[in-house]
Chains A and B, each alone.
Chain A
Amino acid sequence: GAVVSQHPSRVICKSGTSVKIECRSLDFQATTMFWYRQFPKQSLMLMATSNEGSKATYEQGVEKDKFLINHASLTLSTLTVTSAHPEDSSFYICSASRRGGPYEQYFGPGTRLTVT
């Protein structure tokens, strides 16, 4: 159990367009979901934390108007990269925590975004 999926696994988009990435908890209810960004050969940097039905909490330095996060249900969170630029190219990983403690996180397989 505790499977998290992401869609798409990789996406290429043109500069100036927007792209949406979905994160789903397949077999559990995720009260909290997290979005991370990973640059090549670097660690994961937390972008934002979202609780179902409420606004996401963004980490310092993350543009909330550029990276729109929606957590509309207990099994789905979306990250929309608006007006994408080449510097937004990265590996985006989501994770989810189920109800109850101690809040173990389950990670999705990641989405490779390339902006041309």
Chain B
Amino acid sequence: AQSVTQPDIHITVSEGASLELRCNYSYGATPYLFWYVQSPGQGLQLLLKYFSGDTLVQGIKGFEAEFKRSQSSFNLRKPSVHWSDAAEYFCAGRNTGGFKTIFGAGTRLFVKA
């Protein structure tokens, strides 16, 4: 079955420290992959997406993600976290020929001063 897994329920990092949020996918073929951020009580904002091509994807707000086919991973990174980055982060995948997006369980990011 197709799935997207985020192994970390929550992560705490210090402001200014680097960040990596993990995401693994299980699909028959390489899916489209996405990272979204959600602030409390808000909708989802797209940070970045991978469709094909360059495996290192740049997104908004200084985020990037690297697609690694051999590891079935699409981890999100940021070199220096700001307090405003505290939020819920969702990794998602979708078949290239389909409509249904599958979301991971989410990772809650806490940023400490």
Contacts and interface: CB of A to CB of B under 8 A. Distances in A.
B42 A110 contact: yes
Contacts of A6: 43
Interface in A80-116: 91, 93, 95, 97, 102-110, 112
Given A93-B43, A110-B43, A112-B41, A103 B99 contact: yes
Interface string B31-61: 0100010000111111001010000000000
A60 interface: no
Which bucket holds chain A's interface residue count? Answer: 20 to 34
B1 to A, nearest CB: 12
A74 to B, nearest CB: 16
Interface residues of B, number: 21
A34 interface: yes
Interface stretch (B22-30, B66-74, B100-108): B100-108
Given A43-B103, A46-B101, A110 B41 contact: yes
A93 to B, nearest CB: 6
A106 B42 CA distance: 14
A70 interface: no
Nearest to B9: A41
B44 A107 contact: yes
B96 interface: yes
A43 B5 CA distance: 11
Nearest to B51: A102
Given A104-B49, A109-B42, A110-B42, 9 more contacts: A41-B108, A43-B103, A43-B106, A44-B44, A95-B44, A97-B99, A107-B44, A107-B45, A112-B41
